[in-house]
Homo-oligomer: A and B are copies of this chain.
């Protein structure tokens, strides 16, 4: 942000001994140049003190990462953000963060803002629309998804996620091994990319162990509030008071598990004797409530580092990352509710 001199794009080209068109491609992040050329141009921009108001602002892309994330309150996401900022910070990158609230229109609009802000790469957590893939590719912005993008675009992107299917499978399996026969599935609204593999893992475990699959035991709650505590509590209390019978609950996240725990306690149902319960994510409340809640631990640090490595590699190579689908192992954490 020093004083600006009257340096033109031609001066940059002359200084580097390359064409104006190449300098322009670098400044606009358009590709078709070597990493060496890019470094040369960016060093010339610095040393000649090329004016930022003259330059396309994409020049700032060098050290700025955009992060799209559904919300600020979900501890699982905020821990992920901290690990991402640490991973990028080690390489001198700063992060701009936008909350999409799981809304496609917000995701697109905020992605436009981030591109205009000059990001050189994007981490998209819980991507809900393939339009983002088109938008970032058109702007030559490398993107890495954390959690699966929409199924029609899975083979087009780099994506890192926990093994949601296996997590749900072993959670359900644990309930079965502890004696449960009728297991309630507490899912979330359909737009979330992780609901489907967690539902499939639950169904696969039921099938493998010959347990009945019943439509009245699969309950998907809309996210009408955060953290879904009260709506889940009310729904589970309603189910208890209705004719729906269950002796186990698998909740797709810990706040739903916590809501279910509150409903069971309100109805004087003994946990884990009468009903067993397991959540997903291993957020801190599962350790602090009474009884502490069994859950599936996601390796947030490894997910963040893996996604950051792929993105930084693509930025370094001035290309979009190759499509890939990296699945990070999960671990079961058994506590007082199973």
Interface size class of A (residues with CB under 8 A): 35 or more
Copies of this polypeptide in the complex? 2
Closest to A59 in B: B116
Shortest beta-carbon distance from A185 to chain B in Å? 24
Mark the stretch among A12-20, A33-41, A96-104, A199-207 that contacts chain B.
A96-104
Question: Bound state CA distance, A294 and B251, in angstroms?
Answer: 30
Question: Bound state CA distance, A70 and B116, in angstroms?
Answer: 24
Of residues 270 to 324 in A, which have CB atoms within 8 Å of B's CB atoms?
Answer: 284-285, 288-290
Cβ-based interface call for A189 (8 A): no
Q: Which residues of B contact A266 (CB under 8 A)?
A: none
Q: Which residues of B contact A75 (CB under 8 A)?
A: 73, 75
Shortest beta-carbon distance from A87 to chain B in Å? 14
Q: Is the CB of A81 within 8 A of B96?
A: no
Q: Which residues of A contact B (CB under 8 A)?
A: 1, 52-53, 56-57, 60, 64, 71-73, 75, 78-79, 81-82, 85, 94-99, 106, 109-110, 112-114, 116-118, 226, 258, 284-285, 288-290
Kindly list the 9 A-B residue pairs having the minimum CB-CB distance in the complex, ordered from nearest.
A117-B117, A72-B78, A72-B81, A97-B97, A288-B289, A290-B290, A73-B78, A57-B57, A96-B96
Cross-chain pairs A/B with CB under 8 angstroms, 23 sampled: A1-B112, A52-B116, A57-B116, A60-B113, A64-B113, A71-B82, A72-B81, A72-B82, A72-B85, A73-B78, A75-B75, A78-B78, A81-B99, A94-B109, A95-B99, A96-B98, A97-B99, A113-B117, A113-B118, A117-B117, A285-B288, A288-B289, A289-B289
